[in-house]
Amino acid sequence: MTNGGKSTLSKSLQQQIPNSCIIAQDSYFKDDSVVPVDSNGFKQYDTLDALHMDTMMTEVNSWRQDPESFLRQRDLNSEHKTLDKDVCVLIVEGFLIFNYRPLNELFDKRYFMEIPYDVCKKRRSSRTYEPPDPPGYFDGHVWPMYLQYRREMENITSDIVFLDGLKPREELLAAVYKDVVYEIERLREKD
Ligand SMILES: Nc1ncnc2c1ncn2[C@@H]1O[C@H](COP(=O)(O)OP(=O)(O)O)[C@@H](O)[C@H]1O
Ligand SMILES: NC(=O)c1ccc[n+]([C@@H]2O[C@H](COP(=O)(O)O)[C@@H](O)[C@H]2O)c1
Protein backbone atom coordinates (compact mmCIF):
# COMPACT_ATOMS: atom_id res chain seq x y z
CA MET A 1 0.00 0.00 0.00
CA THR A 2 1.05 3.56 -0.60
CA ASN A 3 3.31 5.03 2.10
CA GLY A 4 3.43 1.78 4.04
CA GLY A 5 7.24 2.07 4.15
CA LYS A 6 8.12 -0.16 1.17
CA SER A 7 10.97 1.88 -0.28
CA THR A 8 12.45 2.68 3.14
CA LEU A 9 12.59 -1.02 4.03
CA SER A 10 13.73 -2.10 0.55
CA LYS A 11 16.65 0.32 0.50
CA SER A 12 17.82 -0.80 3.95
CA LEU A 13 17.48 -4.45 3.00
CA GLN A 14 19.40 -3.91 -0.20
CA GLN A 15 22.26 -2.38 1.79
CA GLN A 16 22.39 -5.40 4.10
CA ILE A 17 21.92 -8.25 1.62
CA PRO A 18 24.94 -9.10 -0.49
CA ASN A 19 24.35 -9.29 -4.24
CA SER A 20 20.93 -7.72 -4.02
CA CYS A 21 19.25 -5.02 -6.04
CA ILE A 22 15.87 -3.30 -6.24
CA ILE A 23 13.32 -2.93 -8.98
CA ALA A 24 10.71 -0.36 -7.90
CA GLN A 25 7.28 -0.35 -9.47
CA ASP A 26 6.87 3.40 -9.27
CA SER A 27 9.63 3.79 -11.88
CA TYR A 28 7.15 2.39 -14.42
CA PHE A 29 4.26 4.86 -14.29
CA LYS A 30 2.97 5.86 -17.70
CA ASP A 31 3.11 9.46 -18.84
CA ASP A 32 0.43 11.65 -17.27
CA SER A 33 -1.04 12.40 -20.72
CA VAL A 34 -2.17 8.78 -21.18
CA VAL A 35 -3.53 8.14 -17.67
CA PRO A 36 -7.36 8.29 -17.85
CA VAL A 37 -9.52 10.53 -15.69
CA ASP A 38 -12.70 9.31 -13.93
CA SER A 39 -16.07 11.05 -13.75
CA ASN A 40 -14.91 13.00 -10.66
CA GLY A 41 -11.87 14.32 -12.52
CA PHE A 42 -9.40 12.07 -10.67
CA LYS A 43 -6.49 10.65 -12.68
CA GLN A 44 -6.57 6.87 -12.42
CA TYR A 45 -3.01 6.40 -11.16
CA ASP A 46 -3.71 3.63 -8.67
CA THR A 47 -4.39 0.93 -11.25
CA LEU A 48 -2.22 -1.53 -13.13
CA ASP A 49 -3.27 0.21 -16.36
CA ALA A 50 -1.34 3.30 -15.23
CA LEU A 51 1.88 1.30 -15.20
CA HIS A 52 4.18 -0.08 -17.91
CA MET A 53 4.05 -3.57 -16.41
CA ASP A 54 5.44 -5.09 -19.62
CA THR A 55 8.59 -2.96 -19.29
CA MET A 56 8.87 -3.84 -15.61
CA MET A 57 8.61 -7.55 -16.49
CA THR A 58 11.37 -7.12 -19.08
CA GLU A 59 13.63 -5.74 -16.35
CA VAL A 60 12.73 -8.55 -13.95
CA ASN A 61 13.36 -11.16 -16.65
CA SER A 62 16.66 -9.55 -17.51
CA TRP A 63 17.71 -10.03 -13.86
CA ARG A 64 16.45 -13.63 -13.89
CA GLN A 65 18.45 -14.47 -17.01
CA ASP A 66 21.74 -13.18 -15.65
CA PRO A 67 21.61 -11.63 -12.16
CA GLU A 68 25.36 -11.05 -11.91
CA SER A 69 25.49 -9.17 -15.17
CA PHE A 70 22.39 -7.20 -14.11
CA LEU A 71 24.17 -6.23 -10.87
CA ARG A 72 27.34 -5.30 -12.69
CA GLN A 73 25.40 -3.07 -15.07
CA ARG A 74 23.92 -1.27 -12.09
CA ASP A 75 27.41 -1.12 -10.58
CA LEU A 76 26.23 -2.55 -7.29
CA ASN A 77 28.13 -5.80 -7.17
CA SER A 78 31.45 -4.25 -6.29
CA GLU A 79 30.03 -2.57 -3.18
CA HIS A 80 29.08 -5.82 -1.51
CA LYS A 81 31.08 -8.59 0.08
CA THR A 82 29.79 -11.89 -1.16
CA LEU A 83 28.51 -14.33 1.46
CA ASP A 84 27.41 -16.79 -1.15
CA LYS A 85 28.27 -16.22 -4.78
CA ASP A 86 25.42 -18.41 -5.93
CA VAL A 87 22.49 -16.57 -4.41
CA CYS A 88 21.50 -13.21 -5.84
CA VAL A 89 18.45 -11.43 -4.48
CA LEU A 90 16.06 -9.23 -6.39
CA ILE A 91 13.92 -6.98 -4.19
CA VAL A 92 10.79 -6.00 -6.09
CA GLU A 93 8.88 -3.24 -4.35
CA GLY A 94 5.61 -1.63 -5.30
CA PHE A 95 2.02 -0.95 -4.35
CA LEU A 96 0.46 -3.32 -6.91
CA ILE A 97 3.03 -6.06 -7.39
CA PHE A 98 0.94 -8.97 -6.08
CA ASN A 99 -1.99 -8.12 -8.33
CA TYR A 100 0.00 -8.68 -11.51
CA ARG A 101 -0.04 -12.44 -11.91
CA PRO A 102 3.02 -12.91 -14.18
CA LEU A 103 5.11 -11.08 -11.58
CA ASN A 104 3.41 -12.45 -8.48
CA GLU A 105 4.10 -16.04 -9.47
CA LEU A 106 7.87 -15.43 -9.53
CA PHE A 107 8.33 -14.43 -5.89
CA ASP A 108 10.01 -16.67 -3.31
CA LYS A 109 8.86 -14.44 -0.46
CA ARG A 110 6.11 -11.84 -0.26
CA TYR A 111 5.80 -9.05 2.32
CA PHE A 112 3.00 -6.53 2.64
CA MET A 113 3.50 -3.42 4.77
CA GLU A 114 0.20 -2.23 6.19
CA ILE A 115 -0.73 0.91 8.05
CA PRO A 116 -4.15 2.24 9.15
CA TYR A 117 -6.19 4.70 7.10
CA ASP A 118 -5.39 7.78 9.20
CA VAL A 119 -1.62 7.13 9.23
CA CYS A 120 -1.62 6.44 5.51
CA LYS A 121 -3.53 9.65 4.80
CA LYS A 122 -1.17 11.67 7.00
CA ARG A 123 2.02 10.19 5.51
CA ARG A 124 0.62 10.68 2.01
CA SER A 125 -0.19 14.34 2.69
CA SER A 126 3.47 15.05 3.44
CA ARG A 127 4.66 13.48 0.15
CA THR A 128 4.65 15.28 -3.18
CA TYR A 129 4.05 13.17 -6.26
CA GLU A 130 4.36 14.36 -9.84
CA PRO A 131 1.66 15.40 -10.55
CA PRO A 132 0.76 16.33 -6.95
CA ASP A 133 -2.41 14.82 -5.43
CA PRO A 134 -5.36 17.17 -6.08
CA PRO A 135 -7.73 17.94 -3.14
CA GLY A 136 -9.82 14.89 -2.21
CA TYR A 137 -7.60 12.47 -4.14
CA PHE A 138 -6.81 10.21 -1.19
CA ASP A 139 -10.45 9.59 -0.25
CA GLY A 140 -11.77 9.80 -3.80
CA HIS A 141 -9.24 7.54 -5.54
CA VAL A 142 -6.21 6.25 -3.57
CA TRP A 143 -7.97 4.62 -0.60
CA PRO A 144 -10.92 3.06 -2.52
CA MET A 145 -8.48 1.59 -5.08
CA TYR A 146 -6.30 0.26 -2.27
CA LEU A 147 -9.30 -1.52 -0.71
CA GLN A 148 -10.28 -2.98 -4.08
CA TYR A 149 -6.77 -4.20 -4.97
CA ARG A 150 -6.22 -5.57 -1.51
CA ARG A 151 -9.32 -7.75 -1.81
CA GLU A 152 -8.13 -8.97 -5.22
CA MET A 153 -4.65 -9.64 -3.87
CA GLU A 154 -5.97 -11.75 -1.03
CA ASN A 155 -7.98 -13.80 -3.52
CA ILE A 156 -4.94 -14.40 -5.73
CA THR A 157 -2.25 -15.06 -3.10
CA SER A 158 -2.28 -16.67 0.32
CA ASP A 159 1.37 -16.77 1.34
CA ILE A 160 1.91 -13.12 2.14
CA VAL A 161 3.67 -12.03 5.32
CA PHE A 162 1.86 -8.95 6.64
CA LEU A 163 4.09 -6.42 8.38
CA ASP A 164 2.90 -3.72 10.75
CA GLY A 165 4.22 -0.54 9.13
CA LEU A 166 3.75 1.31 12.44
CA LYS A 167 6.67 -0.57 13.94
CA PRO A 168 10.07 1.15 14.05
CA ARG A 169 12.08 0.94 10.84
CA GLU A 170 14.91 -0.97 12.57
CA GLU A 171 12.53 -3.60 13.91
CA LEU A 172 10.94 -4.18 10.50
CA LEU A 173 14.34 -4.40 8.87
CA ALA A 174 15.65 -6.90 11.44
CA ALA A 175 12.59 -9.15 11.07
CA VAL A 176 12.61 -9.23 7.27
CA TYR A 177 16.39 -9.51 7.07
CA LYS A 178 16.33 -12.58 9.32
CA ASP A 179 13.58 -14.15 7.26
CA VAL A 180 15.37 -13.45 3.96
CA VAL A 181 18.67 -14.87 5.24
CA TYR A 182 16.78 -18.02 6.21
CA GLU A 183 15.27 -18.18 2.71
CA ILE A 184 18.69 -17.68 1.10
CA GLU A 185 20.03 -20.61 3.13
CA ARG A 186 17.05 -22.71 2.11
CA LEU A 187 17.60 -21.93 -1.58
CA ARG A 188 21.31 -22.61 -1.29
CA GLU A 189 20.71 -26.02 0.23
CA LYS A 190 18.13 -26.80 -2.45
CA ASP A 191 20.64 -26.16 -5.28
N1 LIG B 1 8.53 2.23 10.06
C2 LIG B 1 8.22 3.50 9.84
N3 LIG B 1 7.76 4.29 10.84
C4 LIG B 1 7.43 5.57 10.61
N5 LIG B 1 7.53 6.19 9.42
C6 LIG B 1 8.00 5.47 8.39
C7 LIG B 1 8.36 4.09 8.53
N8 LIG B 1 8.79 3.64 7.33
C9 LIG B 1 8.68 4.68 6.47
N10 LIG B 1 8.23 5.78 7.09
C11 LIG B 1 7.97 7.11 6.51
O12 LIG B 1 6.74 7.01 5.79
C13 LIG B 1 6.83 7.73 4.57
C14 LIG B 1 6.60 6.77 3.40
O15 LIG B 1 7.68 5.83 3.37
P16 LIG B 1 8.11 5.09 2.04
O17 LIG B 1 9.15 4.11 2.38
O18 LIG B 1 8.43 6.11 0.98
O19 LIG B 1 6.72 4.39 1.69
P20 LIG B 1 6.25 3.63 0.35
O21 LIG B 1 7.47 3.30 -0.45
O22 LIG B 1 5.54 2.41 0.85
O23 LIG B 1 5.31 4.59 -0.34
C24 LIG B 1 8.20 8.38 4.56
O25 LIG B 1 8.06 9.68 5.10
C26 LIG B 1 9.02 7.51 5.50
O27 LIG B 1 10.07 8.22 6.11
N1 LIG C 1 5.38 8.39 -9.89
C2 LIG C 1 4.34 8.87 -10.52
O3 LIG C 1 4.41 9.12 -11.70
C4 LIG C 1 3.03 9.07 -9.78
C5 LIG C 1 2.17 10.02 -10.25
C6 LIG C 1 1.00 10.20 -9.57
C7 LIG C 1 0.68 9.44 -8.46
N8 LIG C 1 1.54 8.52 -8.02
C9 LIG C 1 1.16 7.71 -6.84
O10 LIG C 1 2.17 6.80 -6.49
C11 LIG C 1 1.57 5.89 -5.58
C12 LIG C 1 2.38 4.61 -5.51
O13 LIG C 1 3.67 4.87 -5.06
P14 LIG C 1 4.03 4.71 -3.50
O15 LIG C 1 3.65 3.30 -3.16
O16 LIG C 1 5.49 4.96 -3.46
O17 LIG C 1 3.22 5.71 -2.73
C18 LIG C 1 0.15 5.71 -6.07
O19 LIG C 1 -0.74 5.78 -4.97
C20 LIG C 1 -0.05 6.87 -7.06
O21 LIG C 1 -1.24 7.61 -6.78
C22 LIG C 1 2.71 8.34 -8.65
Report the alpha-carbon distance of residue 52 to residue 44 in Å, rounded. 14
Percent of the chain past pLDDT 90, that is, above it, reads 87
- ipTM score of the complex? 0.98
Q: What number does the ligand 1 atom closest to the CA of 95 have?
A: 22
- Please say if the pLDDT value at position 81 is more than 60: no
Contacts of 16 (CB under 8 A, 6+ apart): 173, 177
Q: What per-residue confidence (pLDDT) applies to 79?
A: 54
Average pLDDT over residues 20-39: 97
Residue 183's identity, in one-letter code, is E
DSSP output for 40-70: TS-B--SSGGGB-HHHHHHHHHHHHH-HHHH
Asked if the 6-180 domain carries CATH number 3.40.50.10860, the reply is: no
Q: What per-residue confidence (pLDDT) applies to 74?
A: 85
For residue 12 and ligand 1, the question of a CB distance below 6 A is answered with no
Counting ligand 1 atoms within 8 A of each CB, the residue from 2, 3, 142 with the most, and so the one to mutate, is: 3
Ligand nearest to the CA of 146: 2
Q: What is the pLDDT of residues 96-125, one digit of tens each?
A: 999 999 999 999 999 999 999 999 999 999
Average pLDDT over residues 29-35: 98
Q: What per-residue confidence (pLDDT) applies to 190?
A: 80
For residue 43 and ligand 1, the question of a CB distance below 6 A is answered with no
Least confident residue range of 26-40, 69-83, 132-146? 69-83
Average pLDDT over residues 139-153: 97
Report the alpha-carbon distance of residue 48 to residue 181 in Å, rounded. 31
Average pLDDT over residues 146-161: 94
- Please say if the pLDDT value at position 76 is more than 80: no
Strand locations in the chain, DSSP E?
20-24, 89-93, 111-114, 161-164
Average pLDDT over residues 30-53: 97
What length is written for the chain?
191
Answer whether 0.90 is exceeded by the pTM: yes
Nearest CA residue ID for atom 11, ligand 1: 5
Question: Which residues are near ligand 2 (CB < 6 Å)?
Answer: 2-3, 26, 29, 45-46, 95, 129-131, 142
More confident position, 120 or 188 = 120
pLDDT tier, 78 (very low <50, low <70, confident <90, very high otherwise):
low
Torsion of Cα atoms, 186 then 160 then 29 then 131, to 10°: -130
Tell me the average pLDDT of the chain.
94
pLDDT tier, 158 (very low <50, low <70, confident <90, very high otherwise):
confident
d(CA 65, ligand 2 centre) in Å:
29
Active site residue 26: yes
For residue 94 and ligand 1, the question of a CB distance below 6 A is answered with no
